[in-house]
Structures are given as structure tokens and as C-alpha cells.
Homo-oligomer: A and B are copies of this chain.
Amino acid sequence: MKLLEEKILQDGIVKEGNVLKVDSFLNHQLDIDLFTEMGKEFKRLFADRPVNKILTIEASGIAIACIAAQQFHVPVVFAKKAKSINLEGEMYTTKIESFTHKRTYDVIVAKKFLSADDHILIIDDFLANGCAVEGLIDLIRSAGATVEGVGIAIEKGFQQGGKNLRNKGIRVESLAIVDSMDAATGKIVFREQ
């Protein structure tokens, strides 16, 4: 998606350790007009899929998922990073390792919000090693629901997450795929799509 690639080139900052900072428009300050265009693009890409619910994970996935959901006219469910096991009702749970925070979270969704009849589109801001998406797929499959696809804002194409998911037959659509980036020069190369 040209608009997102141009925004990344304009405002993204490449840091040592394969970090791409996009906090001025994607995950701390949020460019909502850009998100609206991203939502329309997700709808175009998954127009053939019978999506009845969007699943994401707190916190930065929520914004993109909600704006996309407007296009699909479906509810969003966001998985929560569990702060305690003291949780009411029955939950599906999984563990997700965070690339950014270098720790493992327990992640939960209330069972009443995922059922075997659901056709789920997963939406998240970043795809790198794929741990977050794999965790969400685990939650969906615990419920016997169907994974219709995965919509990502920015995929780090030089990490294995996207490749691993596609090799398993999961449909992954990323609005921008970074094939390489260089902290010394700031250069970012996108995959042709």
C-alpha cells in the first residue's frame, strides 16, 4: 500500500537491533485518516472472505482493528495481556513472547466471545517473528473457530513470522513488507507486492 510505504519512508526511524520506530503515526500517536485508508485496503484484500469478527491484541493492535472493523461492519475482540489469574468466567489462554519487551505474556480471551461459528480475521500492527499472531491463532483454534486470514500493517520480511504462517496455509496480507533496513543510513527497502 503506497500510502503507508510513503508514510514509513517519511516518518519511520530505523534503529539498531532491527527496530523500526513508527510511534509518530502507528503505535503511540495514531494517524486516524491513514488508518481509515488502511481499513479500506484490508476490506478490499479480504472482500472474498466471510469475516464475522476481528481479533487483535492489546494495545496497539486495537486502533487498526477498530477502524478496519468499520469497513467490515463486524465487532472487534481484543485479547488481553493477563495481569492476574484472578479472572472471572472462563477464558481461552495462551502464551505470547514479546519481541519488543523480551518477556512472555499470558494472553486471554473470554470464551463467550469466540465460538465454533466464528470466522475470524486477525489484525495487528506488526508482524516480525509471528509470536503474537501464532498466539491469536491458538486462541481461535481453542474455540473451534475458523481463521479467515491475517491482516498486518507492517511486516518485517527479513524475519520468519510471515513465511512460517504462509507455509502453514494461512492467508497473510501485509500493507507494507520491509525486506531490509539499515540503521546507519536509514534506508528502507520494501517488497514489491
Chain A residues within CB distance 8 Å of chain B:
23-25, 28-33, 35-36, 58-59, 62-63, 66-67, 69-70, 73-78, 80, 83-84, 101, 109-110, 112-113
Contacts and interface: CB of A to CB of B under 8 A. Distances in A.
A56 to B, nearest CB: 10
- Determine how many copies of this chain the complex contains: 2
21 contacts: A23-B110, A24-B113, A28-B78, A28-B109, A28-B110, A29-B75, A30-B66, A30-B75, A30-B77, A31-B75, A32-B70, A32-B73, A32-B75, A36-B70, A58-B58, A59-B62, A59-B78, A62-B63, A63-B76, A67-B70, A84-B101
Contacts of A113: 24, 28-29
A160 to B, nearest CB: 25
Main secondary structure of the interface of A (DSSP, over half): mixed
A59 B63 CA distance: 10
Given A77-B29, A78-B30, A110-B28, A66 B63 contact: yes
A32 B69 contact: yes
A66 to B, nearest CB: 5
Contacts of A77: 28-30
Nearest to A69: B32
A114 to B, nearest CB: 9
